[in-house]
Amino acid sequence: MASPRQKLVSRQPWKAVYALFAAIATLVRLPFYLAVFSVPSFRPHNKWTYQQALMNTLFRTFLYHAAVVEVNTSIQSTPAVREDRVELMRPGPAEKYSGIALDAAIEACPVKGTWYPSTYEAGDENNHNIILHFHGGGYAMCEGSEGDSGFAASLLVKHAAAKALFPSYRLSSNQGGRFPAALQDAITAYNHLLDLGIPPGKIVLSGDSAGGNLAIALLRYVGENSLLFPRPLSVLLWSPTTDMLAAKEPLEIDQNRNSSTDFLAGDFCAWGAKGLITNVSPAATPYFSPRNNPFSCQVPMWIQVGGLEVLYDNALEFAGNMRKQGNAVEVYVEPYANHDILYLGGSTGFGVEAVKAVKAAREFLGGLKRD
C-alpha cells in the first residue's frame, strides 16, 4: 500500500494541477456559501455570525486539500522580517536527550525560535509571564514565525502580560520530522530558557492544537527526567490534541458529533498523525496520545476548549484523567467556539472569544505561587 508521500498529487506538476482545480471548485461554490450563510438558521450553528459560518467552511476545505497535496512548510533558518527577534537555539548536552527522546535516526538539532514582542533580556521574568509556546498545525504545517503565529503571539503579549518564545519545531510532514523530532526540539527550547538564567518557576509551557500535544509531551518528559530538568510554573493548553494515535483514522474526526461545527478535516489530522507515528515504538504512545495515558506532573494545568469543536470530548476526558492522578486542572470552555481560537480566531471570526480566553488564562496564572 502506497504511503501518503507516494501519492501522485503530492508531486509536481500534478500538485499544482490539483491545487488549481481545487481553487476553481471552491470559487464556484463560494456564491452558494455566501447566499446560504446569509440566513442564520442555515449556518452550522444558529448563534454563529456570517463570518464564523463562512470561514469555518473555507478553512475545512483548505485543510482537506492541503492534506491531499501535502503542502510543505519549509522551516527557514532566518525570518522574513524582524530578524532581531529570532535566535537559533543550539541543542543542550547529549544527556539532556535520554530515554524516549533518543533515536538512532533522529538527532537533536538547532531550532529557530521567535520572541514576542522582543528578545529576552535579563529580568524580564519579573514583569512578564515567560511563555514557551508551541504552535498548532497538526504537526504538519505552520511555524513559530510572525507570518503564521503572529495573531496568537499578539494575544499572549497584550492580554497575558507575556514575553513569549515560539519555536519552529520540526514537522512530521518533512523528512526527519517523525517522533521524537518535535519533542527533541521542545527539550532544546526549554533547556535554552533555563540556560538564559530564567528560573523554572517563572516559565509557562503553552501550546495550541498539536502544539498542545507537544507541550504535554514535554511536561511528561520533564517529570520523568526530574534530575535533568526542573518543573515549570504551569502549562496552558489551547484546544489540545490529546490522541494522535486515534487521529490516524480520518473517521475519528469526520464522524465526531461536532464535525459540522468545526473546520478540522479528518484527512488533515490523519496526514500529520501518520507522519508523526511512522516507525515509532509502542512505548512512545503516551507521549503523543496522553488522553488515556495520564501522569502525575505536579504542575498546574489550564485547558481552553471550544464547546463546538471535534476535540471537545477528548479534552474533557484528558482533563478528568489527569485529575485522577492528583493534578490540578482547570478547564475553560468557550461554548460556541470551534477549534483553536487562540491561533486562528482572528481569521475565523472568534477574535473576541480568543481575547476572553487569554484574559482567563492570565487570571489563572496570576493565582499561582511563583518561586
Higher-pLDDT residue of 78, 186: 186
| CB atoms near residue 45 (< 10 Å) | 17
Summarize the confidence of residues 255-262 as an average pLDDT.
Answer: 97
Higher-pLDDT residue of 369, 293: 293
For the record, the C-alpha cell of 309 comes out as 469543536
Residue 5 is predicted with a pLDDT of 45
Residue 182 is predicted with a pLDDT of 98
Q: What is the pTM assigned to this prediction?
A: 0.95
Residue 370 is predicted with a pLDDT of 67
Percent of the chain topping pLDDT 70:
95
Summarize the confidence of residues 316-330 as an average pLDDT.
Answer: 98
On the question of pLDDT at 358 being above 90, the answer is: yes
Q: How far is residue 142 CA from its own chain's centroid? A: 9
Residue 76 is predicted with a pLDDT of 55
| CB atoms near residue 124 (< 10 Å) | 17
Residue 290 is predicted with a pLDDT of 98
- Could you report the per-residue pLDDT of 333-346, keeping only the tens digit for each? 999 999 999 999 99
Residue 154 is predicted with a pLDDT of 97
What is the Cα gyration radius of the chain?
20
Average pLDDT, the chain: 94
Over the chain, what HEC string results? CCCHHHCHHHCCCHHHHHHHHHHHHHHHHHHHHHHHCCCHHHCCCCCCCHHHHHHHHHHHHHHHHHHHHCCCCCCCCCCCCCHHHEEEECCCCHHHCCHHHCCCCCCCCCEEEEEECCCCCCCHHHCCEEEEEECCCCCCCCCCCHHHHHHHHHHHHHHCCEEEEEECCCCCCCCCCCCCHHHHHHHHHHHHHHHCCCCHHHEEEEEECHHHHHHHHHHHHHHHCCCCCCCCCEEEEECCCCCHHHHCCCHHHHCCCCHHHCCCCHHHHHHHHHHHHCCCCHHHHHHHCHHHCCCCCCCCEEEEEECCCCCHHHHHHHHHHHHHCCCCEEEEEECCCCCCHHHHHHHHCCHHHHHHHHHHHHHHHHCCCCC
Residue 48 is predicted with a pLDDT of 98
On the question of pLDDT at 353 being above 70, the answer is: yes
- Could you report the per-residue pLDDT of 192-220, keeping only the tens digit for each? 999 999 999 999 999 999 999 999 999 99
Give 11's pLDDT tier (boundaries 50, 70, 90). confident
Residue 9 is predicted with a pLDDT of 78
Residue 134 is predicted with a pLDDT of 98
- Could you report the per-residue pLDDT of 50-92, keeping only the tens digit for each? 999 999 999 999 999 999 999 877 765 444 445 689 999 999 9
Give 371's pLDDT tier (boundaries 50, 70, 90). low
